[in-house]
Structure 1
């Protein structure tokens, strides 16, 4: 009797060539881990070694199970009606529906790489040993071989196998290949090619277990591990994708959202995947499953619209539709495709969030809208979950299985929806949707009647939902009014914001221009020169008194000239004065500019302005004495008071006039608006009444009184709501205009409070951004600290050993000190972001300033010489000491000197000098490079502020922070002699030598 025989190539045809690609294969392996009751399944891809490691902590397999199940094609035992035993179940966990049912998912490993080492351990294994198997998939591609010809080396280990253990397994496979060649079943060329590939497999599971992240040690736990090497060349492309990073990669499209974690009420995932991609630098990786990469419940909550509900066994939708989070409708959508008889696809659930594509039509703020639009552009779509495990390729926006994008290209206003603006889930189950079966290659469902019904129900749902809620004009449903009205409100609001921002921008630009001009004039000493010029003119006016013979007339002329002089100087000061910004919020940088302006303006008032005022007094006294003229002090005082009073009344009357004009304008605008709205309402009512006259009620058999009355009521109500909403908004604005007195009897207006709140909001945003950046740095350094902790301990031990030698060998003392200081220097930088209890052990000490200079010369000597820069110090610096950690102060000096070298190289000064000085109040670091602008004196210490090309703006900020923590301060001081820039480290308790 004849029988079918199975060629070895059947595995290649059913496995690698059946699966759509590597991402699909990985998804299938994740499902297998789920079926094995694993809580975690982790992938570590080490690119430089072309090594792909997948580990789970599931039930694992005994040797018998591995041979009878894993190495058996088309494993039927996953079906409930099988005569064979079912797969093992973890009785301590909730039962899991079987996701893999074809028995060929494991064969997909061949698409990841040509050979795999498998380690698995089960608690049911009588020997409690680890089962290991080595498979080369290239053998199964060879023609002429039957399955029974292929040998799979299997061994048992008590411990995790080492490199030598795997070598022995490879020898078993190589021997079997040589046997096949000797029996002429495979060619010499194929034999050599495959043996070469096997020999290149140089993996040590024992070593990898020590280095890889995660608790998957098979000595302590059960599970299954796959070591695939080398990997297929397409894997890197599947992970990296195209150059356009706005488009998701193949790996992201297929693996993200493996379980539903996006909806607020999502079930707790039964299995958590991880995918660490080590791209080159050892121990540095990116996690494809980073939570920030995919949608989360908070994203879902803040979206513009939400639709959720259930489709019953007849395909009828019943659920809730929430529009702009202001109105929720209980809604039903019928489906007549099955003539209202039960469907074969069964009931299922849906929960979807949707975004308006334009910010001006969305209720989200600009930041969240931009963030979610970027996410939906990459990952938007309708994800399908069976028992909370994703079914591929649904969710991939390129797979338009519901004709969403196809319909939108026909008419976006009619069909409305786009996959790239939605994210949500369809939930089915193995119990209720048994006839929705996946294709063997995991390319979606088999297109049977159940699938066609399922697809048609959803297509009908989105078309009808668009008609009911998101359509204008003809064909719009009665419930679409909410979306239309709210969308128009958002557009009007956005346009108003745009107009306000444009107006504010003009004022901001003018304000910034005034500040820039002020600082430019300060740098040129223009204000001092102008005041000197005005004083020269004033002096000429005083000289007129010489020609007056009458004493009383001369006295009056002196008093009048004094008033003129003070008015001239006062007018000039008021002219250069920049008023505090009103009606717009300034940025942090501009606010710092304004604060710097106030300091400089105060210097002018207490400097040149006061000098000018004193000079006017001197001229009065000089001329009255020289000409022996008696000038009444009472008269001078009275005229001065009169002058100030007139100026105050003049300015106040002007503002009173402006206030009355503003009040009249607002009153007129409010009255005009109210009149316009009332006229519109009256016209609408009149039009409706005119139309009503033309309706022939009695003669029309089709006349529907209820619907006609509802239509008329809706039209009038809509116009009424428009009037009341607009006027309520105006009334609210008017009520927000108020003022009261504070504890000092000063009047505080709502405008001042609003400005203060706006400034506080900007400060909080800036602080939040700085904190986020610092926390990210902290996390990064935390990883470095963790990964290099053993290295640090080793270095510390070596330094202690070196100290023992240095104590008995003077020649080693300098070497030891330099190594120790540099080590603490490194720790000082890393320690800024490390919890104090984890910092390396150090002690405070007296630090001679001369040792600081020696350290700086050791570090920068070659660079200083290369750029022809001198590092000098004063006698004051030489004789002083600092008390504290070397690793606190050294990085500060290093950072400031490094900056000085950079900027000296940007200058044209011939003799470049950096000077170190100290006195009882602190230490000074000066240079004669480019000056630092007045407005930048504080800004240079802000995190992220830099004028260096490719600079990061971190050094001075961190230096100040770490000094503050130790009771010191760092700031920009007035430049010392022969210098343009001076930084000062202010000490609380300086130590003199």
Structure 2
């Protein structure tokens, strides 16, 4: 007997289609933004609000939904609402409704394909509140907890989504408790005395699921998590404040509010330190890489008209911490079409349906004459189900080395900085981003794979490439997204797209940009000079790498030895403090141990540290701290034992001295033997290497030119031509041999003359690096000064405009909370501007008699709000208050503001219970002291260098440089206290020697 059965759907199907299908949280946001685009939104935004719990919202001003559309489309998985019906004739009513939905916008190509994009909201967080409104219809709101769909024992039909209609926005918040209660009926059942069949199924399903989770070792069950989220979640007025509909800017739109948000969104809050948590850094980078440039920024007007662009569509991401908002992503791209076309290497054109590229090329800053055509390297599929279709391509880049670029140094530095943040090769469909192309680690077009075979010839690099491929759904129907938005479905069309783009990149690199290109050979410097420069650069890099490897090896070797010596030193110190130092034998025995430890300390030296320590910095700082502490303790022990010996006046003074002489000599002999053995081994190795190079170079000329003898013998080349080639190769080989052996002999002669080549190279390298850094610093500082001048001037005018505008508001507005918030913020800003006015570069340079009291009062007023909440005590001695100097306030006030601001930062990061900053005057000098951790001895030589800072976050390394520059302009001197007698507090102590100051 034949029977028929239908599929039954478990609730977990929704979880599989939603959260588990989408690659990650940022991709889920992009899917929801595309839904907003399909709903003819002009604006869509992701807002992340702090709180317990944190809330994220996605708000748009699209056409929205009414109750029927929500229940029959949004809640129907795989709905046909996204299918393009452009070929189906519309009724007059349908046409009117479609035009109303567009709200004056041109028709848009639908981005959705499978009707499951809305389920990606499960990837943002567990609890979702959907609020939507269509014009002429009431609001509709629904509440969903996606974890309901994780229960494998529930059927999909058992889960009911609570939904409510209302007319005014003010009605929503009072309705939320009832929505929460109805939502929990999916966990607790209906709550009525008489239980329905559904109630029994739900209770049994959750009991089985909780028992299973407990048996598997889960600490908290899914049911308890749902209960905690629903009870703890509070949606507030501020969570709705950025929705255009809520603001009254439109009468339609949709909002998704999410509680119990994913880590990727929570990582955006400033309380997380990406310097300490790599997961936070990765989350922030992934969200930025995914959502920045969501719409194609490289469009021209022709492409817009052809339908390659998403017009009238703005996206942004904002984080809200209290009333403070921080924009993560704005709707303006820092790299647009004009920026790209200004780069020195550009490929700009389109690929037709036959796979032939037609366009223009810019190389080394100059556009080539005429149109360039590049045919495909392989056959292009022509079948309807596999053809690629026409598409547009626009990419640009710049030279990697400053000496080869056609850009000015300023433009080159700017492009380098932009490349670190924004370089990527993206794919767009109808103007919206196709994921995950353009994100770090994605190399769909195999750019880095080709580059790894020959970097110079293949030229293109993802790390400095800007641009995109632009597709259209209408012309490229076979290029479809995977369900999880992890790229294009890997069909024949996608493979052909990769081959076509790869062929364009390969051809342009070899013909116009790479090392094999004729243009490069004509433009780049003479071969001999380039060879010398390349060898010098290689030598510098090799020296830098060698120094870093040696330093790392020394550090790895020294740290465990230092730990052992440090422990033994502490034990020795403890024994010295408890021993009877009046006995000669005891003191002599302790001195022998002390000498052994001092000799062991010599083995913990690591040499001079590289300028850029990178990942070694934290270990090196710990090493320095421990080494310094151990040396100080050894000196203290030595002083104690020496004093004890002087008191005892030992009878065996000669024997003690002779024993120490033998011990020191043995130590020196041991070290000398090791160095001599290492040097001899290196000399033997080098002799063998020189012999091999000599033999190899002896054969090189014959190997290169012998084929020419055969050519002249068989008449393939004339004797004259062969003679020229033989002579040319002789000169080239002689040059290469000279470059190989002359520097080697010169180095040996230098060693013979006892010239320290390593020290000389290190000094020259450090000096060159420092000069380069200094030039960059001066450029940055000049730009900073210009920026401050311009911004300061503009802010004065804007402040006056705001003040006038605030005063002109009607009284009814002045009573509102929003007005009061703006007014208070404006007053605080004006107060800060008033205090910062002495920092301006221009304006009158008036000198006045500045007293310590005036300075102290100024600093107190400037920092009063900052210090009151952190328990910092700012004090001044009577000596400081009486000090005076006839100077410009603009020269003196910023110095004290910077010094006190730095001190406040470090006392907050100190282990000291007392947080104090003191201004004092001692021995005709001003002292600014604090109870912070102080400045490490090795950092003091760089303390006043521009952009040097030890602050993990918020430090720019400009303050102390400006302090010294400001004071030097008046003949005054600032330095870090080297004389401990001038230290007023145990932390950092800065000494200022004011020229012409009075100390009464």
What's the TM-score once normalised by structure 1's chain length?
Answer: 0.54
- Equivalent of 1:230, from 260, 275, 285? 260
Question: Which one is further off, 892-901 or 253-262?
Answer: 892-901
Deviations 1:871-914 (CA, angstroms, capped at 9, x unpaired): 5559x99xx9xxxxxx9999789859969999xx9xxxxx9976
Q: Establish whether residue 346 from structure 1 lines up as the match of residue 389 from structure 2.
A: yes
Q: Establish whether residue 152 from structure 1 lines up as the match of residue 189 from structure 2.
A: no
- Once the two structures are superposed, the pairs formed by residues 544-555 of structure 1 within 5 Å of their partners are none
Q: Secondary structure of 1:221's match?
A: coil
Q: Which residues of structure 1 form unaligned runs of 5+?
A: 500-686, 698-707, 709-759, 794-822, 835-846, 881-886, 906-910, 916-925, 932-941, 962-968, 986-993
Q: Distance in 1 between matches of 2:499 and 2:530?
A: 39
Q: Secondary structure of 1:321's match?
A: strand
Q: Establish whether residue 981 from structure 1 lines up as the match of residue 994 from structure 2.
A: yes
Q: Distance in 2 between matches of 1:393 and 1:865?
A: 53
Q: Secondary structure of 1:344's match?
A: coil
Q: Establish whether residue 283 from structure 1 lines up as the match of residue 296 from structure 2.
A: no
- Equivalent of 1:94, from 102, 106, 110? 106
- Once the two structures are superposed, the pairs formed by residues 465-476 of structure 1 within 5 Å of their partners are 465-470=508-513, 472=515
Q: Distance in 1 between matches of 2:919 and 2:59?
A: 61
- Once the two structures are superposed, the pairs formed by residues 100-499 of structure 1 within 5 Å of their partners are 100-125=112-137, 129-157=138-166, 158-161=168-171, 163-179=173-189, 182-185=199-202, 186-188=205-207, 189=210, 191-204=223-236, 206-210=237-241, 212=242, 217=247, 220-236=250-266, 242=278, 249-262=285-298, 267=304, 269-278=311-320, 282-289=323-330, 291=332, 294-329=334-369, 330-335=371-376, 337-338=378-379, 344-470=387-513, 472=515, 480-488=517-525
In structure 2, the residue matched to 1:929 is: 926
Q: Distance in 2 between matches of 1:695 and 1:418?
A: 42
Deviations 1:179-232 (CA, angstroms, capped at 9, x unpaired): 26841423255544422221122112x33334x597753674321111101112
1:984–1:45 Cα change, 3 Å: farther
Query: CA shift at 1:464, angstroms?
Result: 2.6
Q: Distance in 2 between matches of 1:864 and 1:193?
A: 45
- Once the two structures are superposed, the pairs formed by residues 514-913 of structure 1 within 5 Å of their partners are 766-773=781-788, 827-831=830-834, 868-871=877-880
Q: Secondary structure of 2:13's match?
A: helix
Query: CA shift at 1:57, angstroms?
Result: 1.3
1:899–1:163 Cα change, 3 Å: closer
Aligned-residue RMSD, C-alpha: 5.9
In structure 2, the residue matched to 1:68 is: 72
In structure 2, the residue matched to 1:51 is: 55
Deviations 1:429-462 (CA, angstroms, capped at 9, x unpaired): 1221122211211122222232222222222222
Deviations 1:143-179 (CA, angstroms, capped at 9, x unpaired): 2322222121111231245543322211121234322
Q: Distance in 1 between matches of 2:465 and 2:107?
A: 32
Q: Distance in 1 between matches of 2:902 and 2:375?
A: 75
Query: CA shift at 1:327, angstroms?
Result: 4.3
Deviations 1:67-108 (CA, angstroms, capped at 9, x unpaired): 111111112122134989799441511111000121111100
Q: Secondary structure of 2:188's match?
A: helix
- Equivalent of 1:8, from 5, 8, 11? 11
Q: Secondary structure of 1:187's match?
A: helix
In structure 2, the residue matched to 1:34 is: 37
Q: Distance in 1 between matches of 2:34 and 2:163?
A: 24
Task: Give the aligned length.
Answer: 645
Q: Secondary structure of 1:114's match?
A: strand
Q: Distance in 2 between matches of 1:447 and 1:946?
A: 50
Q: Distance in 2 between matches of 1:951 and 1:398?
A: 30
Query: CA shift at 1:466, angstroms?
Result: 2.8
CA contact (8 A) 2:480 2:488 kept: yes
Query: CA shift at 1:109, angstroms?
Result: 0.6
Q: Distance in 1 between matches of 2:498 and 2:857?
A: 74
Q: Distance in 2 between matches of 1:94 and 1:130?
A: 26
Q: Distance in 2 between matches of 1:426 and 1:449?
A: 18
Q: Distance in 2 between matches of 1:162 and 1:316?
A: 57
CA contact (8 A) 1:248 1:379 kept: no
Q: Distance in 1 between matches of 2:72 and 2:287?
A: 32
Q: Secondary structure of 2:184's match?
A: helix
Q: Distance in 1 between matches of 2:801 and 2:263?
A: 32
Q: Secondary structure of 2:488's match?
A: coil
Query: CA shift at 1:775, angstroms?
Result: 6.3
Deviations 1:784-803 (CA, angstroms, capped at 9, x unpaired): 9999999999xxxxxxxxxx
Q: Distance in 2 between matches of 1:300 and 1:27?
A: 24
What's the TM-score once normalised by structure 2's chain length?
Answer: 0.54
CA contact (8 A) 1:392 1:443 kept: yes
Higher Cα Rg: structure 1 or 2?
A: 1
Query: CA shift at 1:385, angstroms?
Result: 1.0
Q: Distance in 2 between matches of 1:178 and 1:2?
A: 31
CA contact (8 A) 1:315 1:335 kept: yes
CA contact (8 A) 1:246 1:377 kept: no
CA contact (8 A) 2:377 2:503 kept: no
Q: Distance in 2 between matches of 1:261 and 1:247?
A: 24
1:432–1:694 Cα change, 3 Å: same
CA contact (8 A) 1:263 1:424 kept: no
1:62–1:972 Cα change, 3 Å: same
Q: Distance in 2 between matches of 1:912 and 1:151?
A: 69
Q: Distance in 2 between matches of 1:449 and 1:857?
A: 70
Query: CA shift at 1:34, angstroms?
Result: 0.8
Q: Distance in 2 between matches of 1:8 and 1:786?
A: 59
1:246–1:156 Cα change, 3 Å: closer
Q: Distance in 1 between matches of 2:171 and 2:484?
A: 34
CA contact (8 A) 1:247 1:377 kept: no
Q: Secondary structure of 2:879's match?
A: strand
Q: Secondary structure of 1:80's match?
A: coil
Query: CA shift at 1:956, angstroms?
Result: 12
Query: CA shift at 1:348, angstroms?
Result: 0.9
Q: Distance in 2 between matches of 1:889 and 1:370?
A: 31
In structure 1, the residue matched to 2:691 is: none
Query: CA shift at 1:769, angstroms?
Result: 2.2
CA contact (8 A) 2:402 2:412 kept: yes
